[in-house]
Amino acid sequence: MAVRLGDTAPDFEAPSTEGTISFHEWLGDSWGILFSHPKDFTPVCTTELGMVAKLKPEFDKRNVKAVGLSVDSVEDHNKWKGDIEETQGAALNYPLLADPDRTVANLYDMIHPNADNTLTVRSVFIIGPDKKVKLTLTYPASTGRNFDEILRVIDSLQLTADHKVATPVNWKDGDDCIVVPSISTEDAKKQFPKGVTEVKPYLRTTPQPNK
């Protein structure tokens, strides 16, 4: 059964390169990103895992814990780690879950049999501190993900959670935001002291509240 937005992220206990992880307990009060890759010792995955290591300070700044997963073993993950550091210039600084019996992959519907019935696809789940799923993404094995986009989504999700604003098309940090439809323009003017522009009664913008 697919994991959908708003669902509680399925909890599990699984071995990782940093020991056994009880997922909900490991997340604690943090946001989380759980992402799967098809296979160890493959080129696209090597570049992705190196990039997530390089972006760790950005995840930390946002109170996000990252964890990767494939159906390989901890032993294979540990053997592959050296290649990631050597070729990507970044050592793995977050855990990689091992899921050879596919328990987690099945819980999160990460195996798409019409793509490949043995390997996980490139799935991403962003999970809020309430353990609810805030974003799901599914990419094919041949396309490396854009983790800058994932950080951008986290920024948008955190703005919505903290300030009740949405973000428009191609929004970047620092751009104007959109007042969510559930707030009247009158209330928005009180809530957003930097000002509210009413382009249409349903399209109101305000400068990014946390800048």
Q: Footprint of ligand BEZ on this chain (CB under 6 A)?
A: 38-39, 42-45, 141-142
CA distance 137 to 126: 9
Q: What is the smallest separation between the CB atom of 2 and ligand BEZ, expressed in angstroms?
A: 22
- Give the Å distances, CA to CA, from 34 to 29, 37, 124, 162, 173: 15, 10, 6, 22, 23
Please, are residues 157 and 172 in contact by the beta-carbon 8 Å criterion? no
**Closest CB to ligand BEZ among 3 and 141?**
141
Q: Nearest to residue 207, comparing CAs of 21, 33, 197?
A: 197
Token code pair at residue 101: 């019996």
Active site residue 45: yes
CA distance 189 to 45: 47
CA distance 40 to 106: 19
**Closest CB to ligand BEZ among 43 and 57?**
43
**Closest CB to ligand BEZ among 38 and 50?**
38
Q: What is the smallest separation between the CB atom of 5 and ligand BEZ, expressed in angstroms?
A: 27
Please, are residues 12 and 103 in contact by the beta-carbon 8 Å criterion? yes
Please pick, among 14, 45, 110, 126, the residue that the annotation labels catalytic. Answer: 45
Cβ-based neighbours of 106, under 8 Å, separated by 6 or more: none
Torsional class of 174: left (φ above 0), alpha (ψ -120 to 50), beta (otherwise): left
**Closest CB to ligand BEZ among 33 and 141?**
141
**Closest CB to ligand BEZ among 9 and 119?**
119
Active site residues: 45
